Structure 1
Amino acid sequence: MIPTITAFERSPDRGQGLARDMRVRWAFEEVGQPYNVRLVSFAEMKQPAHRALQPFGQIPTYEEGDLALFETGSIVLHIAERHAGLLPDDPNGRARAITWMFAAASTVEPPILELQTLKFGEGDKPWFEARLPLVQGRIRAYLRDLAARLGDADWLDGAFSAGDLMMVHVLLRVRPSGILDEFATLSAYCDRARARPAYQRAFAAQLALATGA
């Protein structure tokens, strides 16, 4: 059975590859597995039918038979565990790759999301000017540590893994702010990942929805 994921009918990023269904599309492409996409509107995302799959009314979701999943980390891990290509065969290597997935979602991404919320939802609030440098500082601190850990390696732990997939997509979400460009090591890391054929296929699929191509 071919899995079905959900994606924005009209993505807020207008095809820049920043919506979270990109992570799942990329994972499918890396492991060479087909998938179907069901588009949902913002109104549909808040309806009971979608909330039965995603209780917080977000995308993406994953459906395969009687299995329904939400949260990109969980979905990507499920794909990686079922198909070769995103997790090492060595148990210790697998554990480290999964740790990097958690680090991306639990450590690096939260202040990036806070920055987006601050800029696009709280720009007119009295606390905006005071909070902005604090949030930016937290992001820079994590990126500085991440760049130091990556060093001159191509990927976080040996070969490309689900940990890199999650981390790169998180980093790409901060690129519009200009902060990522301050870290040449991480910028090059993201460029290497974006050059992967699997990323290019996933990006093209998401872009086609935004442009109607």
Structure 2
Amino acid sequence: MTPTITAFERSPDRGQGLARDMRVRWALEEVGQPYDVRFVSFRALKQAAHRARNPFGQIPTYEDGDLVLFESGAIVFHIAQQHAGLLPDDPESRLRALAWMFAATGTVDPPIMERSMVALFERDKPWFEERLRVVDERVRKRLDELSARLGDADWLDGGFSAADLLMVHVLLRLRSSGLLDAFPRVAAYVARGEARPAYQRAFAAQRAVFTAHAGG
């Protein structure tokens, strides 16, 4: 069967590839798995039909026969388990990749998302500058730690894996912040991820949705 994922009908990122269905699209492109997309409006996200797929009313979701999943990390992990190419064959290496998948979504992503929310919703508050400074320090700490881990390696642990896919997509949210400029190893790492043909195909597919609506 062809799996179906959900994505924003009108993404708030305006076609920048930051919405989290991008992670799932990228994973599917990496393994060569065709997929369908069900586009949902912000109103539909909160209705019973979608909450049956994701109780928190978010995207993406993934359906393949009777299997219904939510949370982008879990979906990417499932895809990586079902297809060759996104997880190492060696059991210990596979577990390390899984640890890095958790690190991407559970350790690196939270301060970056917090920064995005501060920049979006608190810019007009009297505490904005101080709050942003504090959050930026948290982000820089993670970037410094990640840079030290990467060293001169291309990827986190051996060859490219689902861990790199998730980590690169998390870091892409910093693209317009300027914070990556101080961490050339991390910036180069992100650029390597963006250069992958599967990423380019996934980005083009997500971008096309915004272009179609913008044109309409």
**Where do 1:39-188 residues align within 5 Å?**
39-188=39-188
Following superposition, the deviation at residue 103 of structure 1 comes to 0.3
- Structure 1 Cα separation of the partners of residues 60 and 113 of structure 2: 17
- Structure 2 Cα separation of the partners of residues 32 and 41 of structure 1: 28
Q: How many residues align?
A: 213
1:200 aligned partner: 200
- Structure 1 Cα separation of the partners of residues 129 and 136 of structure 2: 12
2:210 aligned partner: 210
Which digits, 9 at most, give the CA deviation of each residue in 1:180-211, with x for residues without a partner? 12211111111111111111110111111111
Unpaired runs of at least 5, structure 1: none
Secondary structure of the 1:6 match is: strand
Which digits, 9 at most, give the CA deviation of each residue in 1:104-134, with x for residues without a partner? 0000000011111111112223332221111
Is the 1:7–1:60 contact (alpha carbons within 8 Å) kept by the matching residues of 2?
A: yes
TM-score, structure 1 length as denominator?
A: 0.98
Is the 1:175–1:181 contact (alpha carbons within 8 Å) kept by the matching residues of 2?
A: no
- Structure 2 Cα separation of the partners of residues 177 and 159 of structure 1: 28
1:8 aligned partner: 8
Secondary structure of the 1:7 match is: strand
- Structure 2 Cα separation of the partners of residues 112 and 9 of structure 1: 24
Query: Which one-letter code corresponds to 1:157 in the other structure?
Result: D
Secondary structure of the 2:39 match is: strand
Unpaired runs of at least 5, structure 2: none
Secondary structure of the 1:201 match is: helix
Fraction of identical pairs, as percent: 69
Is the 1:31–1:86 contact (alpha carbons within 8 Å) kept by the matching residues of 2?
A: yes
Q: Tell me, yes or no, if structure 1 residue 30 matches structure 2 residue 33.
A: no
- Structure 2 Cα separation of the partners of residues 144 and 172 of structure 1: 16
1:19 aligned partner: 19
Greater shift in the superposed pair: 127-136 or 193-202: 127-136
TM-score, structure 2 length as denominator?
A: 0.96
Query: Which one-letter code corresponds to 2:144 in the other structure?
Result: R
